[in-house]
Structure 1
Amino acid sequence: MAYNDLVRSMEESAEEKISEIRSETNARVEEITRESSEKADYVHQSLLDEAHSEARDQRNRTLYQIRGEENVITTTEKERLVDEAFRKAGERLARARTDPAYGEQFAQLLTESLAAIEAMEIRVHIDPRDQDLAIGILKGKSVTAELVPDLVTAGGVEVSSADGRIRVYNTLESRLNKARNVYNKEVCRILFGE
């Protein structure tokens, strides 16, 4: 009987050990499963965060690029409109001689030019269409000037010293170019409210 009790005791002890091992194994499996699930959730969330971040960065890059292209297009269109405004002003200036006030305007341009040049010998460069007008105006001035009908201009004069080192540009075109440089921002403000 002692032998049977010993075998039974060993079997019970083995059963307890097996039960303990199973319990530990089940607990470890549950722990590994939980840890794996947590790691999978973390990796999944990290990948989602990274994907969202990359998508946001790409969206921002695209928006920046589009805004830059819009600015280039807007700036180009604004420049075109300003060019058009000055082109139309040039077209109006090309018809200046048909204006009854042109004689007075020409006299003012010539007088300003003569006053701006301090030379003994003066050359007045004019468009041949203004020769009679220039002769009449110069007769009333106390200046000796050589008329040189060598300009092609919508109106106005260029006055120079005899040696050509000093030259005053006072044509309608030169004034328009000066006005463009000086008033370009003002024209933009008027056209675009800037």
Structure 2
Amino acid sequence: MSLQAILDAIRASSDAQVREIEAATEAEVQKIMVQDQAETKRLRQEAYAAASAPGAAERARILGRARLKAQRILSEAREDLIDDAIDQARKRLASIRDDPIYPAILRQLTEEALANLEGSLGEAEKPQLAVDPRDQQLLESILSNMGLDLPVSGELDCWGGIIAKSDDSHVIVVNTLEGRLTRAMPYLCRCLSALIEEDQPKPSTDQFKVTSEV
């Protein structure tokens, strides 16, 4: 073999070794890069989670406070609406004596009071009736139309209605407008609250959403 052939063979062998080393080096570099990328991603995710946790807790606290505030505002508004409705009812009842329908109302209240008192009276006992002085003449007319002759006193100071009692006052039936409203108050409050609740739009969590960038 000539000297040139030997040199060419050595050079070829060296080139092959260099390429092999380069390929191995490139593969190792790629492996390291992939590992580094995975590690970087893991570290980034851990850092994001660590940074987000306090923010999420704070958002939850803000959301909770917002919901409580909204509930309090709705509750106060509901109470105001109920109070206003009851106040309007009081005003209406306080002036109902001037309404043409009042004689019919007083007659109905009188019939109810007498019916409730009837079972508590002795055989010869007569109900004792009391009304506001403004209603005394009207009640006497109503009793006359009912074919009843009962004692009536104008000792009350009320919006309207009647009190019927036994001779000894041991049994008293209060059927005044104020008394009726007082007895009906729990029912009215429940009904008004239910009506107001139906009219309220359903709250959306979007209105309480708190966003932040990490």
Q: Which residue does 1:66 correspond to in 2?
A: 66
- 1:84 counterpart letter in structure 2: D
Answering whether residue 160 of structure 2 is matched by residue 162 of structure 1, we say no
Unaligned runs of 5+ in 1: 1-37
Structure-1-length-normalised TM-score: 0.67
Q: Which residue does 1:136 correspond to in 2?
A: 141
Q: Which residue does 2:89 correspond to in 1?
A: 89
How far the C-alpha of 1:134 sits from its partner, in A, is 1.7
How far the C-alpha of 1:191 sits from its partner, in A, is 4.1
Q: Which residue does 1:183 correspond to in 2?
A: 188
Q: Which residue does 2:103 correspond to in 1?
A: 103
Give the conservation status (yes or no) of the 8 Å contact 1:97–1:155: yes
Q: For structure 1, which segment, 116-125 or 151-160, has the greater mean C-alpha deviation from structure 2 after superposition?
A: 116-125
Residue-by-residue CA offset, 1:43-101 (whole Å, 9 max, x unaligned): x8656534422221121122112211211111111111111112112111111111122
Structure-2 separation of matches of 1:187 and 1:130: 31
Q: How many residues align?
A: 157
| SS of corresponding position for 2:58 | helix
| SS of corresponding position for 1:168 | strand
Percent identical residues: 31
- In structure 2, do the counterparts of structure 1 residues 122 and 47 end up closer, same or farther at CA, with 3 Å as the change threshold? farther
Residue-by-residue CA offset, 1:116-139 (whole Å, 9 max, x unaligned): 113234222211111111222233
Structure-2 separation of matches of 1:179 and 1:68: 31
| SS of corresponding position for 2:129 | strand
1:127 to 125, 132, 143: 132
Structure-2 separation of matches of 1:57 and 1:67: 15
Structure-1 separation of matches of 2:69 and 2:166: 50
Provide the aligned C-alpha RMSD in A: 2.9
How far the C-alpha of 1:155 sits from its partner, in A, is 1.0
Answering whether residue 121 of structure 2 is matched by residue 116 of structure 1, we say no
- 2:170 counterpart letter in structure 1: R
| SS of corresponding position for 2:165 | strand
- 1:105 counterpart letter in structure 2: I
Structure-2 separation of matches of 1:133 and 1:185: 35
| SS of corresponding position for 1:157 | strand
Residue-by-residue CA offset, 1:139-179 (whole Å, 9 max, x unaligned): 34566644232221111112222333322221222223333
- 2:108 counterpart letter in structure 1: Q
Answering whether residue 156 of structure 2 is matched by residue 151 of structure 1, we say yes
Give the conservation status (yes or no) of the 8 Å contact 1:121–1:144: no
Q: Which residue does 1:9 correspond to in 2?
A: none
Unaligned runs of 5+ in 2: 1-38, 200-214
